Structure 1
Amino acid sequence: MDNEKRYSTRIKSERCDKIKISSVAAVFLVCSIVIFATRYRQDIWNFDRENGNDHQIENVATGSDASEEASEEKTTEKITTEAATTEKPTTEKVTTEASETEETTTAASSEEGGSTVKYVNIKDPDTSSKGNDWYDKKLYTPGNVTDDAYFDTAVLIGDSRTEGLSLYTGMSNLDAFCSKGLNIEKVMTEPIVSTSDGMLTALEALKQKDYENIYISFGVNELGWIYEDVFIEDYKAFIDAIREIQPNATIYVENILPVSKALSDEDEIYNNSNIKAFNKLLKRMCKDYGDIIYLDVASSVTVDGVLPADASTDGRHCNQEYCEKWLDYIRQNVYIKK
């Protein structure tokens, strides 16, 4: 019996020792992990970012920063250019080419708005038709088109609604880069302009001719997009790309035309409530830029907040009569750079 007790006591002692050793090892392991994680926390976080877990946030921040930097660069460029034009020549030798350039610059600066002003009344414009436009009054003067030769200086860019405007109004001297189903994302890459050299994207077509006035109209095809901020970011990207190509042009962002009451009441996406929300985003975007004009063309075709039933056969696209109203609003509400 004594031997059995001693044997049992020894077994229990060995088990206790094993438990103690295991417990100490577990505590040591946990402490080691905590110390390692604390010490190398920054390295682990950096590794996680490099492998794409923070990719979306970085893209959004970079896009915003890029827009601000581009805006600052353009402002600096403008100031530098203005300073250069007022600087007196420091050398006695002046070439004929430089002399001609200086004369041209002087002649252009004597008129507001370049050649556009020849076709616009800015002395006593009729503003009775003006809707809820937004523009910086320090930068622009409102006016009315007095001659349709104004449209020689302009281009419309948009979707099927803009396509209808171009076709129904029959303006032979108005360039229109538009297509059915086009949206603010596709316009950057989709060939839609037919030329003798083949099909071009809107941005490629903008390189073929100088424009003083650029009208952009998108939004109805984007109403079904899940994220509203993506719509605005794509809009900004397109505007920035236009500015790279046409830095001196006045850019108009047309708000989204309403749809009919019948369509709005039955459709969860293409309704006037969503359109109003998107228009608020567009107006805010124009204010953020400061020198982009928000043009309330919707006010020219809206009756009691909707597109009238007799204005469209599908509740979405304007017929000829209402396209004329739309174009007439553009005529009556232009803005000339001071």
Structure 2
Amino acid sequence: METYRGFKARARRKRNRILLIEAGLAVLIVALLFGILYTMVKMIHGEPVIEWPVASTIVQEEQQEQTPVQTQPVEAEEWDTNVPSERTINTDLQLTADARMLALPANGKLSTEYFRTALFIGDSLTQGFGLYQPTSDVAIVHAYKSISPKFILDGGTAKNYNGVEEVTKDAIAAEKPDNIYLLLGTNAVLAQEDDAFLHYYGELMDWLRETFPNVPIYVQSITPVTAEEEIAKPRLANDHLRQLNDQIAKMAVERGFYFVNVQEALVDDNGYLRADYVGTYDGIHMVPAGYAAWADYLLRHTAYSKYNSQFVEEGPYNG
């Protein structure tokens, strides 16, 4: 009897092993069929059968490092318009090639009294704000002939527009303005390579922020020249100046400054300095009519603040 029961137990165990093996084979067959079906679907849709996420990510990163950002060049005839461009700031400033897209838009108009506590910093072009109406009686001007950003940073001594000789850096730092307007470049572009000029211009911006931590700072575009001046001084070619203005606009906005595209107020239909604004000295400097148009443009392109709002003269003034 015991032998018979042992035989039955062994037979039962054998059947269980056979069933287990059959079940395993069935699972393998189903998985194989599923794999074949999956592969056929991928192939039909033209998709890779096996994806390697890590390798794919590495390739994408390498491609991004090796491929420079491509930007669409801005043609000269398209750059300056009579209508200010809307300010649209891309979160990645390196992708924004056109300075107009970073420029401060029109925002009502303030009275010239606004300039009474505004500080203008620059070279001989900025001297006109101290010499001509409507700003000569109100604006604070520290502007010196033939200077560069590096000259101010080095604490160079020069004569202001009124003939007073002063240490440029100290004279500027002593002021207590409510708004600051900065424009340099014409002389520096002639004397330096672009990289050097932009480097020191950026350092000057940083110094101004440290010196005037709570004051709004407006960085103006380099102004245009005449066609004749462009031929005489190729470094001042308007296409070249516009490329520099693209870089200056990004530098300004990155630092929390405002960029003002004053070229819009000063160019003719061909992108050159308007003939009725050109002075007799060269194709760079301007007559009083040019400064009047320039000042009017600045008064129409200011950032809203409670302080500025007291000077509103025309139109809506929006924050």
Same fold, judged at TM 0.5 (above): yes
RMSD between aligned residues: 2.8
What letter is aligned with 1:302?
V
**DSSP-derived class of the 1:223 partner:** helix
Confirm or deny that 1:297 pairs with 2:262. yes
Tell me the equivalent position of 1:237: 203
Tell me the equivalent position of 2:123: 159
Distance (whole Å) between structure 2 residues aligned to residue 137 and residue 150 of structure 1: 30
Q: Is the 8 A contact 2:129 2:139 kept in 1?
A: no
Tell me the equivalent position of 1:24: none
**DSSP-derived class of the 2:303 partner:** strand
Distance (whole Å) between structure 1 residues aligned to residue 88 and residue 142 of structure 2: 24
Superimposed CA distance per residue, residues 32-75 of structure 1 (whole angstroms, 9 cap, x where no aligned partner): xxxxxxxxxxxxxxxxxxxxxxxxxxxxxxxxxxxxxxxxxxxx
Tell me the equivalent position of 1:288: 254
1:309-328 map, 5 Å: 309-312=275-278, 313=280, 314-328=282-296
1:27-176 map, 5 Å: 131-132=84-85, 143-169=107-133, 170-176=135-141
Q: Is the 8 A contact 1:254 1:297 kept in 2?
A: yes
Tell me the equivalent position of 2:302: 334
Q: Is the 8 A contact 1:251 1:292 kept in 2?
A: yes
**DSSP-derived class of the 1:157 partner:** strand
**Amino-acid identity (%):** 23
Confirm or deny that 1:220 pairs with 2:186. yes
Greater C-alpha radius of gyration: 2
Distance (whole Å) between structure 2 residues aligned to residue 147 and residue 193 of structure 1: 29
In the TM superposition, what is the alpha-carbon distance from 1:224 to its structure 2 partner?
2.5
In the TM superposition, what is the alpha-carbon distance from 1:263 to its structure 2 partner?
1.5
Moved over 4 A (4+): 132-138
Q: Is the 8 A contact 2:127 2:141 kept in 1?
A: yes
Tell me the equivalent position of 1:278: 244
In the TM superposition, what is the alpha-carbon distance from 1:133 to its structure 2 partner?
7.6
What letter is aligned with 1:326?
W
Distance (whole Å) between structure 1 residues aligned to residue 201 and residue 186 of structure 2: 13
**DSSP-derived class of the 2:217 partner:** strand
**DSSP-derived class of the 1:200 partner:** strand
What letter is aligned with 1:207?
A
Q: Is the 8 A contact 1:133 1:295 kept in 2?
A: no
**CA gap 1:142/1:323 in 2 versus in 1, 3 angstroms:** closer
Q: Please, which runs of 5 or more residues in structure 1 have no aligned partner?
A: 1-127
Distance (whole Å) between structure 1 residues aligned to residue 195 and residue 82 of structure 2: 31
Q: Is the 8 A contact 1:131 1:297 kept in 2?
A: no
Q: Is the 8 A contact 2:147 2:188 kept in 1?
A: no
**DSSP-derived class of the 1:249 partner:** coil
**What is the TM-score of this pair, normalised by structure 2?**
0.58
Distance (whole Å) between structure 2 residues aligned to residue 133 and residue 221 of structure 1: 30
In the TM superposition, what is the alpha-carbon distance from 1:225 to its structure 2 partner?
4.2
In the TM superposition, what is the alpha-carbon distance from 1:266 to its structure 2 partner?
3.6
**CA gap 1:266/1:208 in 2 versus in 1, 3 angstroms:** closer
In the TM superposition, what is the alpha-carbon distance from 1:203 to its structure 2 partner?
3.1
**CA gap 1:148/1:164 in 2 versus in 1, 3 angstroms:** closer
**CA gap 1:199/1:300 in 2 versus in 1, 3 angstroms:** same
Distance (whole Å) between structure 2 residues aligned to residue 254 and residue 334 of structure 1: 12
**DSSP-derived class of the 2:239 partner:** helix
What letter is aligned with 1:320?
P
Q: Is the 8 A contact 1:255 1:282 kept in 2?
A: yes
Q: Please, which runs of 5 or more residues in structure 2 have no aligned partner?
A: 1-80, 92-103, 306-318
2:212 to 243, 246, 257: 246
**CA gap 1:165/1:148 in 2 versus in 1, 3 angstroms:** closer
What letter is aligned with 2:248?
L
**CA gap 1:285/1:202 in 2 versus in 1, 3 angstroms:** same
In the TM superposition, what is the alpha-carbon distance from 1:302 to its structure 2 partner?
0.4
In the TM superposition, what is the alpha-carbon distance from 1:201 to its structure 2 partner?
3.1
In the TM superposition, what is the alpha-carbon distance from 1:226 to its structure 2 partner?
4.6
1:253-272 map, 5 Å: 253-272=219-238
Distance (whole Å) between structure 2 residues aligned to residue 156 and residue 268 of structure 1: 28
**DSSP-derived class of the 2:234 partner:** coil
How many residues get paired?
206
Superimposed CA distance per residue, residues 87-146 of structure 1 (whole angstroms, 9 cap, x where no aligned partner): xxxxxxxxxxxxxxxxxxxxxxxxxxxxxxxxxxxxxxxxx97635858699x9963343
Distance (whole Å) between structure 1 residues aligned to residue 237 and residue 291 of structure 2: 20
What letter is aligned with 2:107?
G
**DSSP-derived class of the 1:334 partner:** coil
**What is the TM-score of this pair, normalised by structure 1?**
0.55
